[in-house]
Amino acid sequence: MGYNFKYVLVFISLMCVWCGRLRFSMASTDSSDGGLVRFNLRKRNLDRHSLSAARIKKASNAGDLGSDVNTDSTPNVVYLKNYLDSQYFGEISIGSPPQYFNVVFDTGSSNLWVPSSKCIFSIPCYFHSKYKSRISSTYTEIGTSCKIPYGHGSIYGFFSQDVVKVGDIIIKDQVFAEITKEGSLALLALHYDGILGLGFKDISIGEVTPVWYNMIDQGYIYQNVFSLWLNKDPVAEIGGEIVFGGINSRHFRGEHTYVPISQKGYWQIDVGDVLLANRSTGLCEGSCAAIVDSGISSIAGPTTVVTQINHAIGAQGYVSLECKSIIHNYGDKIWDALISGQLNPEILCANIGLCSHDKYQKDNVIETVVHDENLDGSTSKESPFCTFCDMIVFWIQVQLKQSNLKEKILKYVDELCEKLPSPEGQVFVDCNSIAAMPHISFTIGNRSFPLSPQQYVLRVEEGSSSVCYGGFVALDVPPPQGPLWVLGDIFLGKYHTVFDFGNQSIGFAEAA
């Protein structure tokens, strides 16, 4: 798709307090159940003999998962701490004899990468397990260099080939990246070593065949689905689970709502309106794209909507004087133009002189709204006044559908100018106000999927005190790829998710 938003979000996640504290290990289970393999994302040192068996469902018909047959399998699972459950990863091995790595099972990317023993000039490499090709009897040299963008930098390495063990599945001749340079010191905070991408081959760097594809091609997967359950219960033992080849019926209630993949590459679907306490936020009333991404902890979306969320939950946002000055100097003119209907709202800001008309025909680039810069750091031709003017026009239009009181609407929009998402990604909220915050709902497949404030606010206990963060960050992708949402672990923790590779669809059901 040509966009690096995935890696921008990963970079933002690394800067968040809650992201660097989890340490999980993954235990494999018996894979004799018709090509079904189950992972338990867990912390260490739980007496596994005290755990009861879980029922695993194998899809007897890829189009009718509701008629699946149950089989028994005993998992290895351990509990999570209640404030450290925003990142999930498990253990795999590479090579012969096996070398072990903690990796994120990431549906937002497609490559497998781990640090290399040849990574000697990057400090983060010394804090993670490193792959040593010289001690593996099954290693095959490839050597082609690769570059993976992360945030405003990149990690670098080269491709190699070896056996990879994921649970009890041993994938032969798997190509992966050995990372030799981890540019960002933020990677020091990670407790996992690398990433195992579960996205489509279309977005694989170097056109490498992903691990999931090789599982299928080498005959390990009976049904071409995998499912993900992330446990958000702070007192539960199980931290999370990924099942290759089926679903675990213990971990959801009711039936899954399935929606088709809208654009192959990412696990991307169409979503409808995003509601704040049953009130429309406006932007996605028709449709927006959304990527289901287990590799980030937050939910990312357009600034115009995230700002409304920040206001509703009392988040400490970024105050823009440019935004406020437009309201004070041009608010009446914008209001009159919208009420009269004489100007096309889409080009209103150009007509009042805050944007150029060329702006609406410019090339598709991702911009960060607050600084109006491209991802490569170059400055956009348009001034911040243009960006903020477009947002103000949109916000007024949304409010006009609910009220026609001018003073009330302009006051609300002025307050939105004080609640813009932080450039660092983190927004603080009052822990004592969580109960009064609104539910936020996504419309998927004509159904509402709500999140309570207890689910979208991340609470970090620091001794006798608590710090709370809103779980929404800004990401702006222009048409035709956008507007775009990225549904990360906050959403996936609420909803058990089935990734149906065979039918090119995704299913959601309330997690149990």
Q: How far is CA 211 from the centre of its chain?
A: 20
What tokens appear for 72 in the block? 């028994």
Tokens 């047959």 belong to residue: 69
Give 287's contacts (C-beta < 8 A, 6+ positions apart): 270, 271, 272
Catalytic residue among 85, 106, 270, 372: 106
Residue type, 497: T
Tell me the β-bridge partners of 112: 196
Give 102's contacts (C-beta < 8 A, 6+ positions apart): 23, 24, 25, 26, 89, 90, 91, 129, 191, 192, 193, 194
Residues 110 and 198 sit within 8 Å (Cβ to Cβ): yes
What tokens appear for 153 in the block? 């930098």
What tokens appear for 385 in the block? 């006044």
Can you say whether residue 341 is alpha, beta or left, with left for phi > 0 and alpha for psi between -120 and 50 degrees? left
Residue 342 per-residue DSSP state: -
CA angle 273, 279, 280 (to 5 degrees): 30
Listed residue (157, 152, 267) closest to 208, CA to CA: 157
Residues 92 and 196 sit within 8 Å (Cβ to Cβ): yes
Tokens 């990574």 belong to residue: 119
Three-state SS letters, 351-390: HCCCCCHHHHHCCCCCEECCCCEECCCCECCCCHHHHHHH
What tokens appear for 11 in the block? 């970079």
Residue 116 per-residue DSSP state: B
Number of residues that this document lists for the chain: 512
Residue type, 22: L
Pairing mode, if any, of strands 274-276 and 279-280? antiparallel
The kind and range of the H/E element at 241 are strand 240-244
Encode 102-130: b = buried (16+ Cβ within 10 Å), e = exposed.
bbbbbbbbbbbbbbbbbbeebebbeebbb
| Cα distances (angstroms) measured from residue 504 to each of 106, 208, 258 | 17, 20, 10
Cα separation of 13 and 21, whole Å?
A: 12
Is 293 an active-site residue?
A: yes
Residues 417 and 323 sit within 8 Å (Cβ to Cβ): yes
Is 106 an active-site residue?
A: yes
Cα separation of 433 and 244, whole Å?
A: 40
Catalytic residue among 293, 390, 476, 500: 293
Ranges assigned E (strand) in 85-231: 90-94, 99-106, 112-115, 140-150, 153-166, 169-182, 194-197, 225-230
Cα separation of 431 and 468, whole Å?
A: 6
Q: What are the catalytic residues?
A: 106, 293
